[in-house]
Structure 1
Amino acid sequence: MTSVFDTVSGPVRGRAPDRGITAVLGVPYAEPPFGADRFRAPRPRRAWEGVRDCVEFGPVAPQSAELPGAPRWSPGDEDVLGLNVWTPARGSGAGSHLLPVLVWIHGGAYTFGSSAQPDFDGAALARAGLVVVTFNYRVGFEGFGHVPAEDGDACPPNRGLLDQIAALEWVRDNIASFGGAPDNVTVAGQSAGATSVACLMTMDGARGLFRRAIAHSAVGPVFAPELAEQLMRKVAAEAGIAPTPAGLATVSPHALLRASDTVVEGLRQDTFSGRLSWDPVIYGPVADGHVLRADPLELIAAGAAPDIDLLVCHTTQEYRLMGAVGSCAEVDSEEELARFAADFGLPASLTSGYRRLVPEATVRDVHLAVYGDLSFGEYSNRLAVAHARTGGRTFRSRFVRQRGGSGPRVYAWHCADVPFAFGNLAEECVHFLIGGPPTPADHRLSDRMVAAWAGFAATGDPGWEPAGGVPPHAIKVWGTADPGAGPDFWQDAEELRALWSAYTYRPEQP
């Protein structure tokens, strides 16, 4: 068996096969986006001489977050646009049956995260018959910060999305050498990665690069250009530079990170900053009218991608995670709950409707449930419904697995579904998400979710009926028999969704 694979930039050598899977890590797919290329669209990677060893994850994009088990960014790390491939050990792919490909886009509020997180290891999915690709892309200001258009399109918006397209182009041009089928690609993501997937479904630059999409806990809506510009000016002022391309180019990525973190903390402390005071996220895709024409929900509802199969999932207690890690404001009074609802323009009937569904819920329970569904659950469901209504083959699912009882209380919260779908429950760094070492029931659930992803990527069939089939609202529920950890507002899913009928998503404004 060979661990050397040809790419358009030169041959690469991966790790020795482990339990039938070869991992090729840290393969550059574009030039480093710094120096003269900073704030520019990604450029194809130049060729290298000889065989390049690709046995370790590459550097992560500039970020201040430090995630368990993942590498940290250090000033000076520049070769950040790299990807990783897991493929069943075999020949170079020549003359072999080509396997379906799954390309993963990590989340992280468009501000942090990387493909090197242990729960994103693609070996289990590769053993299920896929070639798996994960990659890094620019996050934070480098990837999504507004740069004024003073030099034509030299510094485009949504650079992080353009990086994602460049990675998919690399897959198109190279994946056959790794045993993957370039005409059978599924792009998948969670949270910011899921909304990235939805954006890619609608973008002209990504047309034809994949045929299926998986979106877990898509977050929406995207930013209006005016908000992106306003936030850039706040960051530039904090960094002490002019809000111009020249001014932004004079300051290091590290300095922009410090300035961004200071702006976030200031918004968090300022109750007059409206929506941004609750859990500030200051970077994300921008509906600029060109790179990304509008919010992907709007575009998908207008029929932008009926030829792409879509699998959507969300967890039923998304924001419980943010409450546990302290990233969102505490809401313990009716007055605070009313201010939250007013800041987000929620109908007056919404919070009272949640309380009616679970009368014993506390104010904090209601706040976290509404915030989670506003940010992830309802937006994800609307993506699925909109796609199905325009003729797109669509599969819906919910993740409900909790762990209560005498052990650590763990909810069906944000990110908890990911290690199950990747088959990586044994990784110690995910035990916080799932409540400790996995049980036999957890392993069985993970096996089912891995098989669903593999089946969908291979044939478009995850194992249940699509939306619009029989029954017309078929929704797969992922769970175990573990005792519940808290109030479940999703026991009556249809009534819960009906509460949102008067709410309309619009791009985030200043």
Structure 2
Amino acid sequence: MRVFRTRSGPVAGSTSPHAPEVTVLRGIPYAAPPFGAGRFRAPRPAASWDGIRDCAAFGPVAPQSARLPGAPAWSPGDEDVLSLNIWTPGNDGDALPVLVWIHGGAYVFGSSAQPDFDGTVLAGHGLVVVTCNYRLGFEGFGHVPPAAGTDPCPDNRGLLDQIAALEWVRDDIAAFGGDPGRVTVAGQSSGASSVACLMAMDGARGLFGRAVAHSAVNACASLRSAARTTTEVAAAAGVSATYEGLVSASPKALVDASDRVTDGYRRDPGSGARHYDPAIYGPVAGGDGLPRDPLTAFADGAGREVDLLVCHTAEEYRLLDEVGSCAKVTGEDRLASFAADFRIPEAVMDAYRGLAPGASVHDLYLAVYGDMMFGEYSSRLAEAHTRGGGRTRLSRFVRQRDGRGRPVRAWHCADIPFAFGTVDDANVHFLIGGPPGPADHALAARMTGAWAEFAATGDPGWPPLTATGGPVRIWDTLPNPVGRWDAFRAPWRAAGLPLLTP
């Protein structure tokens, strides 16, 4: 057992069972429980303690209905959900680079306790790794109308939690051997979009100097759409869409109501864009702390002082299709409805047909949807950051394999076990197609090494983009292939059309 001293009190960690040089601490509070008087409010400082706090177990996860392999589920009554975890090979005064991980999950599920986010391997590369929980769903991203005589409840509370975790890192990470002046914030999916939002927020400025965004999702909400969601969720919960009504509903009641609203969109093909994969929550552009969506903010120079590493997978929506998260589109009439609901011009659909003339309607739909929501959006974030004066690296994960008689695609989330070096964990084998082989281990070593070098020096091993393009690192079981920027411009770009916001 090793003891470290934080501003709130001493904490004790234990040696990682996989690496004796790494100490692990779990469940350290970085802010107070966001319930009771603090519900729907900005995060507040954590209470201090006197004795040594044993940090052997992960803290409770944020309210959600999901149950993920190898990770704890939320239990109603769990309130101390704003905690973080640390993997460190260092000692006080070592000044090692720090990587802070923000998990994904469509802003409604997930946690820092997922086994694919174990920081042991990255810590073995000389990083102090931090993972954190933050408020999700309505608690973290629901719009709460102001109540007379009280302070307004801020939008984007989940992002404010992430900022509070980064402030904790700034103030306390030196005790664990980390350098508060060399912090990289990283995330995947909604976690990657959170990273992009943090880069655009004044409240996060100076808390990190590098950022990693894997499969950022095109899902910022407007103030109008956030207010509409509140009306729908309140109705499903049987309360008024006011502060008084919403605060009277328990966290479980709002989770259940959100699930009912989501299920309603799934069941109704005539409900518009939300029918296909109804993510009803997201950062509110124009809400508290986030004046504009990241794509617009980056192009105007926001976050240009932060070095950015972007990645996306080649077939993002294949995973969502495999787990039944998105609608099935198998006929031409449904494909036409999909294009109309998202205002996708026929020129884009024709361009995709030209790229894969033998593709089925469903394959075409998944390719277009994946690019619109993840692939092309990620690429445009990289391009906008470059255009705004930032240094940006772009990469693409294409590794496939045969898994138990069927191909496992380069789909959403498949890249993360490789970047963390957790490919041997049985809980991630569904994502990667079974136990890894030697080529998979070699790929994982290259990806963890690139993350570690980027966090330490800002150089993951390939040059940044320029105004006219540049190289794109291709992550595959072939060693270090490199592609051209223009080879990965989706038909959105080839048709000269803007990326449409759903």
Does the 8 A contact of 2:492 with 2:499 survive in 1?
no
1:150, distance to aligned residue in structure 2 (A): 2.7
1:271, distance to aligned residue in structure 2 (A): 2.1
Does the 8 A contact of 1:147 with 1:157 survive in 2?
yes
Question: Do the aligned partners of residues 287 and 498 (structure 1) sit closer, same or farther apart at CA in structure 2, a change above 3 Å counting?
Answer: closer
Q: Which amino acid aligns with 1:184?
A: R
Give, in whole Å, the separation in 2 of the partners of 1:311 and 1:501.
Answer: 25
Give the corresponding residue for 1:294: 292
1:228, distance to aligned residue in structure 2 (A): 0.7
Deviations 1:259-312 (A, max 9, x none): 111111111112222001111011110012542101111101111111110000
- Determine helix, strand or coil for the equivalent of 2:279: coil
Does the 8 A contact of 2:236 with 2:260 survive in 1?
yes
Does the 8 A contact of 1:267 with 1:276 survive in 2?
yes
Q: Which amino acid aligns with 1:450?
A: T
Task: Pick the aligned partner of 2:349 from 351, 355, 372.
Answer: 351
Q: Which amino acid aligns with 1:118?
A: P
- Determine helix, strand or coil for the equivalent of 2:15: coil
Give, in whole Å, the separation in 2 of the partners of 1:54 and 1:70.
Answer: 17
Alignment of 1:139-154 (within 5 A): 139-151=136-148, 153-154=151-152
Give, in whole Å, the separation in 1 of the partners of 2:286 and 2:163.
Answer: 17
Give the corresponding residue for 2:129: 132
Tell which deviates more after alignment, 422-431 or 289-298.
289-298
Deviations 1:436-456 (A, max 9, x none): 000100000000000000000
Give the corresponding residue for 1:5: 4
- Determine helix, strand or coil for the equivalent of 1:409: strand
Does the 8 A contact of 2:348 with 2:491 survive in 1?
no
1:115, distance to aligned residue in structure 2 (A): 0.1
Give the corresponding residue for 1:487: none
The runs of 5 or more residues in structure 1 that have no matched partner are: 483-489
Task: Pick the aligned partner of 2:109 from 105, 108, 112.
Answer: 112
Give, in whole Å, the separation in 2 of the partners of 1:288 and 1:261.
Answer: 25
Tell which deviates more after alignment, 405-414 or 269-278.
405-414
Q: Which amino acid aligns with 1:270?
A: D
Give, in whole Å, the separation in 1 of the partners of 2:3 and 2:10.
Answer: 7
TM-score, length-normalised on structure 1? 0.94
Give, in whole Å, the separation in 2 of the partners of 1:500 and 1:40.
Answer: 44
Give the corresponding residue for 2:320: 322
- Determine helix, strand or coil for the equivalent of 2:58: coil
Q: Which amino acid aligns with 2:135?
A: R
1:496, distance to aligned residue in structure 2 (A): 3.9
1:493, distance to aligned residue in structure 2 (A): 2.4
- Determine helix, strand or coil for the equivalent of 2:406: coil
Give the corresponding residue for 2:42: 41
1:505, distance to aligned residue in structure 2 (A): 3.6
Give, in whole Å, the separation in 1 of the partners of 2:305 and 2:455.
Answer: 15
Does the 8 A contact of 2:193 with 2:217 survive in 1?
yes
Task: Pick the aligned partner of 2:215 from 214, 217, 225.
Answer: 217
Deviations 1:7-47 (A, max 9, x none): 11001001135421100000000000011110000001121
1:491, distance to aligned residue in structure 2 (A): 11
TM-score, length-normalised on structure 2? 0.96
Give the corresponding residue for 1:486: none
Total equivalences in the alignment: 494
Tell which deviates more after alignment, 294-303 or 179-188.
294-303
Give, in whole Å, the separation in 1 of the partners of 2:288 and 2:237.
Answer: 29
Give, in whole Å, the separation in 2 of the partners of 1:74 and 1:457.
Answer: 35
Q: Which amino acid aligns with 1:149?
A: P
Question: Do the aligned partners of residues 9 and 415 (structure 1) sit closer, same or farther apart at CA in structure 2, a change above 3 Å counting?
Answer: same
Give the corresponding residue for 1:160: 158
Query: Pairwise CA RMSD of aligned residues?
Result: 1.7
Matched, 1:504 2:499: yes
Q: Which amino acid aligns with 1:214?
A: V
Give, in whole Å, the separation in 1 of the partners of 2:498 and 2:341.
Answer: 13
Give, in whole Å, the separation in 2 of the partners of 1:475 and 1:142.
Answer: 38
Deviations 1:409-429 (A, max 9, x none): 100000000000000001111
Q: Which amino acid aligns with 2:472?
A: I
Alignment of 1:53-72 (within 5 A): 53-72=54-73
1:49, distance to aligned residue in structure 2 (A): 1.3
Does the 8 A contact of 1:408 with 1:436 survive in 2?
no
Tell which deviates more after alignment, 198-207 or 2-11.
2-11
Give the corresponding residue for 2:168: 170
Give the corresponding residue for 2:259: 261
Give, in whole Å, the separation in 2 of the partners of 1:145 and 1:420.
Answer: 33
Question: Do the aligned partners of residues 500 and 203 (structure 1) sit closer, same or farther apart at CA in structure 2, a change above 3 Å counting?
Answer: farther
Alignment of 1:61-100 (within 5 A): 61-88=62-89, 90-91=90-91, 93=92, 96-100=93-97
Does the 8 A contact of 1:221 with 1:505 survive in 2?
no
Give the corresponding residue for 2:14: 15
Give, in whole Å, the separation in 2 of the partners of 1:290 and 1:55.
Answer: 35
1:481, distance to aligned residue in structure 2 (A): 5.1
Question: Do the aligned partners of residues 396 and 12 (structure 1) sit closer, same or farther apart at CA in structure 2, a change above 3 Å counting?
Answer: same
Does the 8 A contact of 2:212 with 2:308 survive in 1?
yes
Q: Percent of pairs identical after alignment?
A: 61
Does the 8 A contact of 2:31 with 2:83 survive in 1?
yes
1:99, distance to aligned residue in structure 2 (A): 0.3
Alignment of 1:355-366 (within 5 A): 355-366=353-364
Question: Do the aligned partners of residues 416 and 502 (structure 1) sit closer, same or farther apart at CA in structure 2, a change above 3 Å counting?
Answer: same
Does the 8 A contact of 2:100 with 2:183 survive in 1?
yes
Q: Which amino acid aligns with 1:162?
A: L
1:408, distance to aligned residue in structure 2 (A): 3.3
Give, in whole Å, the separation in 1 of the partners of 2:490 and 2:339.
Answer: 19
Give, in whole Å, the separation in 1 of the partners of 2:174 and 2:97.
Answer: 10
Question: Do the aligned partners of residues 308 and 491 (structure 1) sit closer, same or farther apart at CA in structure 2, a change above 3 Å counting?
Answer: closer
Matched, 1:342 2:343: no
Deviations 1:360-383 (A, max 9, x none): 111111000110010000110000
1:321, distance to aligned residue in structure 2 (A): 0.3
Give, in whole Å, the separation in 1 of the partners of 2:306 and 2:247.
Answer: 39
